[in-house]
Structures are given as structure tokens and as C-alpha cells.
């Protein structure tokens, strides 16, 4: 049996995946690029977690499990997924250092597409301390590099529930900047135009503003607008109905979105086993004109008790009651869509970007692209840096240092549209900047470069050394840092005017605009 499995793996790797055509977007719907038929997502969240008490070596790999990089696991899982009747899986964590050929080819040959999150638990946009920086850019692009060659990649998620309430809506500009830069990266690398989207929670206070913010393109262009939008939706519990569950209201609200919308997670578990009666509406005439299906939460049983199967031992699965119910629902669901040639209308320009209000606190001024040479030159200019020898809690140290020194140049504020010139650098570089500034402010006293042995003095550099320092591609650091600082001083931005007085703030400079143009916006040179 083991030899047979190895032979099967080898054949799958060597085979050319031609059995599944890429899925494309036209208007607000997904389509099969080969026959033009509308594609409805019949999916399941597919993320294997580590077992309770499992011992593993964190020096040998990530803390999470990437099942798509484990052929011995994914090939067994695939048989259960096929029997379940899914055509899509959502994978939350991808190890970009591993090969996914065997699993992705096997899934493609079984007609299963993949929605992949670009982030992972330790590298994603943090709603409590949002940044769009070089570390995240490199993480996100590494997943794009690892997955873009597979035709059964349906899309990439730029974020999952980053904004969950009005209090953290100021993190939205960082997500929108990530959409912009990843779409440009995909295009510049010559990859297939794989759609980029966002997975939102169902917060009533921010639900519509959030969707409109990520879909609108009137101020930052289509690169910053998502290609699809999805909701983690758990309103329908037990034997509810389309009219009473909230599904009717959500369908009316999202009917005007110009991109495909679907449920990125669904399946309330207050009633068990879950009857999944919502699937009758989701794939029926009440919803199929607006929604493109959904993803059942979730395949593997975990502590939260949403699973369809239980992994009794590594690779050994036991079907739960919910598995059989979902299998029946998928079998009964036969949505009738339209042809690609009939869906040519684009409504992007009809969605207006939201203005700042009591429930929405994000401007449309976005963080800059994380230029590697800026951060490289920053490194070259610092004398007091984060020690590489001690394991520390980085965010705690940064907070501690910024209490005693000015961190304006490494911080960003989405509610004010203010982004420090070095806010795009990775957290280690930002910490080193703050440590170095504190050391300089204390007359370069060696004792000021310590912070409990978490900082180390490597040199006593003068500003002149930057003139003789060059980046890996030959750029002079004085020129790089000078141009970067100049570009931050007088940007031209377009600001939506929701009231008669709008604060426009960039790089510490604030002016007030007290008049409204006829279009409801104004081009402001700060």
C-alpha cells in the first residue's frame, strides 16, 4: 500500500494539470474560463490544527500545519472531500518554503479549487497595531510565488477579519494598501491574474462601510480595490429561514456590490447536529443572483466543535453527523447560473468610498509601498540596534522604547492618513530605529543602548557614513533616504468630504478644508 501511494504521488507530480480550467471574474460573478458557465463555490474550510499536547520542533518549521504540503495527509483527506461534494477548500496557512505540487495537482484532478490566505498567525495585519511593512510584503509575495502556477488557485485572501468594529476600522487603509501592492506584484511578475479578496466578519456597525471601502476605486484606482468580497456569516442557526435569519437583509445590502460575494465561513452550531437548512436558500433562487456560494466551517473537528470529520489519529478520519448532512445538502444544491457572455456589466464606479463617521474611522490616504532599499539604508545608518542574541517580545519592547522617545517616523495612523517614512520597515528595523534614536537623544551614552540587554551598540556611525553606503542594487543611501523623505513632505491626495470641515493630516502637518467641491471631493496639496 505504501509503495502504491508513493507511485501515485510521483505520477501526480509528473502529470500536467489540465483537468481544471482557471476560474475568472466577470462583473459580480465567477465563471469557468473554459465553457463560460457560472461557478458557485461549494466549499469547506480546510485547516488541520496541531493535536492537543503535540510536541514539535519550532526550529524545523512553522507552528502551523500546511496540509497542502503533506501528501500523506492531503491525499487521504481528498477522498473525503470528493465524497463530501466540495469544489473549493479554503486554506488559512501556507508554508511557502514547501512544495505543494502533489496536493495541488491531486486536488485539481479532482476538480477542487483552493482559496489561500496570504497571512499566517504570526505574520498578518494586526488590527491592534496595524502596519503594512516589508516583513508582511515578503510573506505575502512568498505565498503568491509558491501558489501562482497552479490553475486551481481560485483566489488569495489579503486579510481575515482584520476590522471587527468601529474601534479598529483605522486598520483598513493598511489592508487596502496590501491589496494594491500584491495586485501590482502579481502583474509585474507576469503571473495569471489570480483574484485578490478579503474575508470580513459580520459586524453590523461596519458591515456596509467596510465592503464599500474595499470595493471602491474612485480615489486609489482599481489596484487598491478587491476582486471579490466575502463574509464569515453565522446568522442562520438551526431551522431558521431566509426572512428571519438576516440572510434576506444581507442579500439586499450586497446586491449592488460590483464584485463576487460569498460566505467565506458559515454554519452556526447552536443546534447540533447542524441541519444546514441555509444551504437551500444560499444555492436557491432567493440568493443565487447575488451570492456565489459559500464555505462550510469547518472540515476538521477542533475545540470549538464545528468539524465535519474527527481526526482520531494522524491521517485517520471519522465522519461526524454534520459531514453526512452537508454531503446531502451539496448533493441537493443545483444552482442555475448565467453564461459568462451574458454578464458583461461592470458597476465598479457606482460604489462610493465611505466617509469618516461615528462608525467608520479610516481615510483613503494609504501607506506607501514598502521599498526594501529604504529599510536597507535605515539599517546601515543605525549604531544602537536590537540585539540578535536574545529572544524577546518585540511589540512589548517597541512600546517600551516609544514611551521615552519620539516614534512618529515608524508609526502609521489610518484614521489621520499619517504614515512615518520608516513605518513600512519590518518590526526589527523599527525597534532598532527607536533604540538608536533614544541613544542619540541621550548624548550617545553607551548605557542608553541597553534596555535590559535587548539593545547592542555595534558602531558609532556619523551621518557622513550614509553617503558612502550603497544598497544591494547599487543605490546610494543618502539619495534613497533623501528622496524618500522629500516624497513624504508634499504628497497630493484626494480626500472625500463627508462634512464641511475635514482634517487632512500627513507627516505631522494638519490643515483644515472648509469648503466642498461639487463632486464631494477635493484635491489637496499639503
DSSP assignment, residue 407?
-
β pairing state of 384-386 and 455-457: antiparallel
Distance separating alpha carbons of residues 400 and 165, to the nearest angstrom: 27
Half-sphere exposure of 430 (CA within 13 A, CB side): 29
CA-nearest of 139, 213, 95 to 370 is: 139
Do residues 31 and 37 make contact, with C-beta atoms less than 8 angstroms apart? yes
Provide the strand spans (E) within 247-372: 261-266, 291-296, 309-313, 316-319
Distance separating alpha carbons of residues 399 and 410, to the nearest angstrom: 12
Could you identify the residue written with the cell 431551522? Answer: 239
Residue 253 bears catalytic tag: no
Three-state secondary-structure class, residue 54: coil
CB burial class (10 A; 0-12, 13-18, 19+) of residue 334?
exposed
Three-state secondary-structure class, residue 199: strand
CA pseudo-torsion sign 246, 252, 253, 255: positive
Helical axes 372-381 vs 427-441, angle rounded to 10°: 30
Q: How far apart are the first and last CA of the chain?
A: 70
Distance separating alpha carbons of residues 215 and 255, to the nearest angstrom: 13
CA distances from 311 to 277, 299, 302, 400, 433 (A): 26, 10, 9, 43, 47
β pairing state of 509-513 and 502-506: antiparallel
**Active-site residue identified among 70, 120, 209, 265:** 265
CB burial class (10 A; 0-12, 13-18, 19+) of residue 460?
exposed
**Active-site residue identified among 161, 218, 310, 400:** 161
Half-sphere exposure of 141 (CA within 13 A, CB side): 19
Residue 265 bears catalytic tag: yes
Report how many helices (DSSP H) and strands (DSSP E) the chain contains, helices first: 13, 20
Distance separating alpha carbons of residues 263 and 295, to the nearest angstrom: 6
Residue positions annotated with a catalytic role: 161, 265
Amino acid at each position: 500500500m505504501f509503495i502504491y501511494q508513493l507511485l501515485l504521488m510521483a505520477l501526480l507530480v509528473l502529470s500536467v494539470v489540465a483537468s481544471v480550467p482557471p476560474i475568472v471574474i466577470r462583473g459580480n460573478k465567477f465563471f469557468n474560463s473554459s465553457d463560460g458557465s457560472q461557478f458557485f463555490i461549494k466549499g469547506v474550510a480546510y485547516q488541520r490544527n496541531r493535536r492537543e499536547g503535540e510536541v514539535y520542533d519550532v526550529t524545523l518549521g512553522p507552528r502551523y500545519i500546511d496540509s497542502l504540503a503533506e501528501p500523506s495527509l492531503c491525499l487521504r483527506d481528498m477522498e473525503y472531500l470528493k465524497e463530501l461534494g466540495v469544489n473549493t477548500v479554503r486554506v488559512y496557512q501556507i508554508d511557502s518554503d514547501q512544495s505543494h505540487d502533489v496536493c495541488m495537482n491531486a486536488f485539481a484532478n479532482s476538480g477542487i479549487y483552493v482559496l489561500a490566505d496570504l497571512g499566517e498567525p504570526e505574520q498578518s495585519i494586526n488590527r491592534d497595531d496595524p502596519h503594512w511593512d516589508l516583513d508582511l510584503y515578503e510573506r505575502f509575495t512568498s505565498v503568491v510565488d509558491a501558489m501562482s502556477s497552479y490553475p486551481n488557485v481560485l483566489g488569495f485572501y489579503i486579510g481575515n477579519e482584520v476590522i471587527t468594529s468601529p474601534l479598529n476600522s483605522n486598520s483598513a487603509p493598511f489592508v487596502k494598501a496590501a491589496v494594491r501592492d500584491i495586485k501590482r506584484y502579481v502583474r509585474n511578475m507576469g503571473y495569471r491574474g489570480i483574484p485578490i479578496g478579503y474575508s470580513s466578519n459580520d459586524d453590523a456597525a461596519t458591515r456596509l462601510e467596510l465592503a464599500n471601502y474595499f470595493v471602491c476605486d474612485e480615489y486609489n484606482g482599481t489596484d487598491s480595490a478587491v476582486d471579490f468580497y466575502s463574509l464569515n456569516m453565522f446568522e442562520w442557526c438551526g431551522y431558521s429561514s431566509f426572512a428571519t435569519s438576516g440572510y434576506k437583509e444581507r442579500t439586499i445590502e450586497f446586491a449592488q456590490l460590483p464584485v463576487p460575494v460569498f460566505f467565506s465561513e458559515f454554519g452556526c452550531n447552536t443546534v447540533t447536529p447542524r441541519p444546514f437548512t441555509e444551504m437551500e436558500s444560499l444555492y436557491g433562487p432567493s440568493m443565487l443572483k447575488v451570492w456565489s456560494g459559500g464555505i462550510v466551517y469547518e472540515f476538521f473537528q477542533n475545540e470549538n466543535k464545528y468539524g465535519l470529520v474527527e481526526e482520531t489519529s494522524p491521517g485517520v478520519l471519522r465522519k461526524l453527523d454534520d459531514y453526512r448532512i452537508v454531503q446531502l445538502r451539496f448533493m441537493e444544491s443545483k444552482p442555475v447560473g448565467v453564461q459568462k457572455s451574458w454578464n458583461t456589466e461592470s458597476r465598479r464606479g457606482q460604489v462610493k468610498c465611505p466617509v469618516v463617521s461615528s462608525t467608520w474611522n479610516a481615510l483613503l490616504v494609504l501607506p506607501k509601498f514598502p521599498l526594501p532599499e529604504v529599510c536597507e539604508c535605515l539599517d546601515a545608518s543605525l549604531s544602537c540596534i536590537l540585539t540578535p542574541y536574545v529572544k524577546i517580545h518585540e511589540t512589548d519592547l517597541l512600546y517600551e522604547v516609544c514611551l521615552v522617545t519620539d516614534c512618529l517616523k515608524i508609526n502609521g495612523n489610518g484614521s489621520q492618513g499619517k504614515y512615518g517614512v520608516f513605518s513600512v520597515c519590518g518590526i526589527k528595523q523599527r525597534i532598532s530605529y527607536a533604540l538608536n534614536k533614544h541613544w542619540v537623544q541621550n548624548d550617545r551614552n553607551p548605557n542608553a543602548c541597553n534596555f535590559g540587554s535587548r539593545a547592542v551598540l555595534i558602531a558609532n556611525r556619523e551621518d557622513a557614513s550614509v553617503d558612502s553606503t550603497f544598497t544591494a542594487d547599487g543605490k546610494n543611501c543618502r539619495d534613497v533616504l533623501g528622496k524618500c523623505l522629500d516624497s513624504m513632505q508634499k504628497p497630493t491626495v484626494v480626500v472625500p468630504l463627508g462634512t464641511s470641515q475635514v482634517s487632512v493630516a500627513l507627516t505631522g502637518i494638519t490643515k483644515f478644508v472648509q469648503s466642498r467641491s461639487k463632486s464631494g471631493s477635493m484635491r489637496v496639496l499639503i
